[in-house]
Amino acid sequence: MELVALVKHDCPVCDQLLPALDEARAGGAPIRILSQSGPGETAAQAHRLKLESVPELDAELELSARFDPDAVPTVVLVDNGDERGRVEGLDRPRLAELADRAGVALALDGLPERRPGCASATRDPDVAARLAARAARDAGRLQARELQIGELEDPLEAMFDRGFSDGLPLIPPTPERVVAMLEATSRDPQDLVALVPPYDGEATIEKVAINAVMAGCPQNVFPIVLAAVEAACDPEFALLGLVSTTHPSGPVIVVSGPLADKAGMNSHGNALGQGNRANLTIGRALQLVVRNVGGGRPQEEDRAAHGQPGKLSSCFAERLHDSPWPGLAQERGVAEGETGVTLFAGEAPRLIVDQLARTPEELCGSLAGGLEWIGHRRLRFAFDALLVVGPEHARLFREAGWDRSRVRQELQARSESPAGELARGAGGIAEGIEAKFVTDPAAAVAKFASPDQILLAHAGGDAGLFSMVYGGWVAGEIGSAPVTRSVEPWL
Amino acid sequence: MAVTILDPTREAAPAGRPLASERLSGEGQATIALLDIRKPRGDVFLDELDRLIAARGHTVIRTAKPTFTKPAPPDVRAEIATRCDAVIEALAD
């Protein structure tokens, strides 16, 4: 049996108890005294208190982390490495009893009956984070390679130099920050989320967390990021082709469900724009995973001719409380009450104005006109679309009771054009449908291969008779199909 | 202050760049492979190198990939690794 005492240099209660512990130890009692403070501070405390010997140092707070006290001084009764009892703070009767069990006589007379002590160094938030990171590494929860950024390097510049950045500064993914991010999911950090194109990099939850930290994600969006990575890497989404195409499309993330609000996402004014941390960092985290884990870099694997700003981040939440429809993810199979993400391969969004339509039919005429020009009016069946209907437009559909299917049918019908207007060379425009397919110039040709290739979401501010359309990339089986996943498995 | 960060990549590249093998000392005789990757006129370049290296008393081994579009086959790599001290590759036309 021995007593192990934990103290620190700037604790007045430790000052009161230390002489008694020191005296007993000097007399041969089995007592170890360990300081949580540095060597200079510990030596100065011993000198100030005129101790017989300087306390040992609890190097790297190893014992403190093991006993994990709230306060110091803490005296622990240890038997062959096992704890048999402890007193945190100064509690004279209990300390006397503990010492008695260890066969130690402590001179406690004159000390106060009870004092609560000071917070253990392990309760300092910075220290606690460091200890949590160390424990995660020891337990195998962290396995990523550690990279050292030298004293003379600026961490932000060093991360640019190492090629980790999308062009904007990154938050350094220290082990402490990554461990904190991992707290946002109950899943094992080494679980595989997906193989990420173009090089099939293994995106473990840990790797996604590292990139989410760099993107600036708040912890509560992390499960949404995981679901987005899973969805983006589904073979149906064709991320390899999407990364390597000359087309400007990138993954657009639509979040539908209660977690969007809880994570602070924006589904209202400027939902597709700047100013909301959750929206922007979710989209950015996915793109950083593609870059760093997948290995897709602009002008290398990513052959986009122009790209577009949405390839930094493209993510918004659906406005569900007054939507004419259930959430997009719920329509696509995610259970009511759960949150889902829908990934769409989209270019930059574009405005469709109609401030005069007063019936859903009139509005569909305008919206279909906007849809028809995706890519080029004369290119048919190639693209799909994500139409983000604004609340003032959506009101017409809600009041008329039009569900998604009804709206899609109407948009499909109204985006037809006569084949003769779409033929190659018509009107002096070379682009168009090959002459051999134009047997009847009056025959109506749809824009989309099927009405299902028009996705409908509801988002935007209260005012503005506007909707927004994201044109798609090569659609369907030959290209990318939208993919929806529940966030639930990642909580 | 030094900062430790976690590697965000798939860790395909080494953190540092250690040399795959010792550099040649420049003294004594060496066996040097000249690898033709089958790009047009690469052989012209290698013929000249062959002459210059041989004139300095080194041994030259000529080897080639079947096609520039694909990595060198294992037997070509093995021959270079086991028989040669260094390799020079004619990369492009």
Which sequence spans correspond to the domains of chain A? 2-123, 235-490
Q: What is the nearest CA distance from B17 to chain A, expressed in angstroms? A: 13
Give the mean model confidence (pLDDT) for residues A81-97: 95
What is the structure's pLDDT at B59?
94
A154 in B contact zone (CB under 8 Å): no
Q: Rounded to whole angstroms, what are the CA distances from B61 to A420, B47, B48, B68? A: 67, 11, 14, 19
Q: Rounded to whole angstroms, what are the CA distances from A215 to A143, A178, A224, A249, A280? A: 20, 12, 14, 20, 9
Of A155, A199, A211, the CB nearest to B8: A211
pLDDT of residue B90 exceeding 80, the answer is: no
* Contact in structure between B36 and B65 (CB atoms under 8 Å): yes
- The reply to whether residue A148 touches residue B2, judged by beta carbons under 8 angstroms, is yes
Of B4, B9, B15, the CB nearest to A292: B9
User: In this structure, what are the phi and psi dihedrals at residue A77, rounded to the nearest 5 degrees?
Assistant: -90, 120
Suggest the residue from B4, B9, B11, B17 to mutate for an interface test with chain A (most A CBs closer than 10 A). Answer: B9
- The reply to whether residue B1 touches residue A295, judged by beta carbons under 8 angstroms, is no
Suggest the residue from A147, A182, A287 to mutate for an interface test with chain B (most B CBs closer than 10 A). Answer: A147
Give the mean model confidence (pLDDT) for residues A21-30: 94
Q: What is the nearest CA distance from B69 to chain A, expressed in angstroms? A: 17
Tens-digit pLDDT profile for residues B9-34: 999 987 765 666 677 877 788 999 99
- Chain B positions touching chain A (beta carbons under 8 Å): 1-12, 15
pTM: 0.82
Q: Rounded to whole angstroms, what are the CA distances from A262 to A108, A219, A404, B66? A: 53, 11, 26, 59
What is the structure's pLDDT at A77?
96
* C-alpha distance across the termini of chain A, in Å: 45
Contacts of B3 in chain A (CB under 8 A): 148-149, 155, 172, 174
3-class secondary structure, A83? strand
Q: What is the mean pLDDT of chain A?
A: 96
Suggest the residue from A126, A143, A149 to mutate for an interface test with chain B (most B CBs closer than 10 A). Answer: A149
Searching chain B, which residue's CA lies closest to the CA of residue A207? B8
User: In this structure, what are the phi and psi dihedrals at residue A35, rounded to the nearest 5 degrees?
Assistant: -100, 140
- The reply to whether residue B8 touches residue A148, judged by beta carbons under 8 angstroms, is no
Tens-digit pLDDT profile for residues A274-322: 999 999 999 999 999 999 999 999 999 999 999 999 999 999 999 999 9
Residue A86, token pair as written in the block: 């402890």
Q: Could you tell me which of B77, B92, B91, B86 has the C-alpha nearest to residue B33?
A: B86
What is the structure's pLDDT at B19?
64
Tens-digit pLDDT profile for residues A446-491: 999 999 999 999 999 999 999 999 999 988 878 899 999 999 999 9
- Which ipTM was obtained for this model? 0.88
Pick A2-123's CATH classification: 3.40.50.300, 3.40.50.261, 3.40.30.10, 3.30.70.360. Answer: 3.40.30.10
Residue B25, token pair as written in the block: 């000392």
Q: Which residues of A122-155 are buried (b: 16+ CB within 10 A; e: fewer)?
A: beeeebbbbbbbbebbeeebbebeebebeeeeeb
Share of chain A above pLDDT 70, in %: 100
Contacts of B7 in chain A (CB under 8 A): 144-147, 210
Instruction: Count CB atoms within 10 A of the CB of residue B44.
Output: 10
* Contact in structure between B35 and A203 (CB atoms under 8 Å): no
Of B3, B9, B10, the CB nearest to A174: B3
Residue A154, token pair as written in the block: 């600026």
* Contact in structure between A91 and A110 (CB atoms under 8 Å): no
pLDDT of residue B40 exceeding 90, the answer is: no
pLDDT of residue B71 exceeding 90, the answer is: no
- The reply to whether residue B2 touches residue A151, judged by beta carbons under 8 angstroms, is yes
pLDDT of residue B91 exceeding 80, the answer is: no
pLDDT of residue B93 exceeding 60, the answer is: no
Q: Rounded to whole angstroms, what are the CA distances from A482 to A33, A251, A314, A399, A479? A: 63, 10, 15, 28, 10
Q: What is the nearest CA distance from B32 to chain A, expressed in angstroms? A: 33
Searching chain B, which residue's CA lies closest to the CA of residue A173? B5
Of A147, A151, A175, the CB nearest to B15: A147
Searching chain B, which residue's CA lies closest to the CA of residue A164? B8
